[in-house]
Amino acid sequence: MNDQTGPPRLTRDQLSELLLADEQQRRAPDTAVPLPDCFLCGRPATGMSSTLGCRDVDERVVTLRPCGHRLAFNVGVAERMQAKMGAAAGPASAPSEVGVLRAEVAAARRFAGEMREFCSPHGVSVHYADQLEAAMDRAKEGAA
């Protein structure tokens, strides 16, 4: 039997503060808000890790660094909070696939432009540059 009382529970506000800071640090470590101070001793937290709790299957225990204080929370509550945060952050913060593709296309067109200037017998490079641009135009029209 395990009758230890376990670490104290985070309140909803404390949990959401922790999750928000953690989420931001994962998305944008340079601009993220710092983790909140430890709710037990007030020392600034520089990191945290979470492990399974032992009171029930949904309990997780977060250990704050450097003070090492442990606080428990319910993983179901945390997941609902994270889902809300994800929705609030919106798709703008997700890696932009369109942006990456645009950059790739721009680079290819730039290369086609440079290829025209290449010195080549019988204007072969101009011919290939035209072919490349024509192929890209066809693909663009096909996709539209």
| Residue 67 near Zn ion by CB under 5 A | yes
Which region, judged by CB under 5 A, interacts with Zn ion, from 38-46, 54-62, 109-117, 122-130?
A: 38-46
- Report which of 91, 48, 88, 92 is spatially closest to residue 70, judged by C-alpha positions: 48
54/49 Cα distance (integer angstroms): 16
126/120 Cα distance (integer angstroms): 8
Cβ distance to Zn ion smaller for residue 66 or 113: 66
107 CA to centre of own chain: 26
Which region, judged by CB under 5 A, interacts with Zn ion, from 32-40, 74-82, 85-93, 107-115?
A: 32-40
Cβ distance to Zn ion smaller for residue 44 or 76: 44
| Residue 48 near Zn ion by CB under 5 A | no
| Residue 47 near Zn ion by CB under 5 A | no
Size of the site for Zn ion (CB under 5 A): 5
* Per-residue contact string for residues 69-108; x = within reach of Zn ion by CB under 5 A: x---------------------------------------
Q: What are phi and psi of 5, to 5 degrees?
A: -75, -25
134/140 Cα distance (integer angstroms): 10
| Residue 52 near Zn ion by CB under 5 A | no
C-alpha to C-alpha distances, 132 to 107, 129, 136, nearest whole angstrom: 12, 5, 6
Q: Enumerate binding residues for Zn ion (CB under 5 A).
A: 38, 40-41, 67, 69
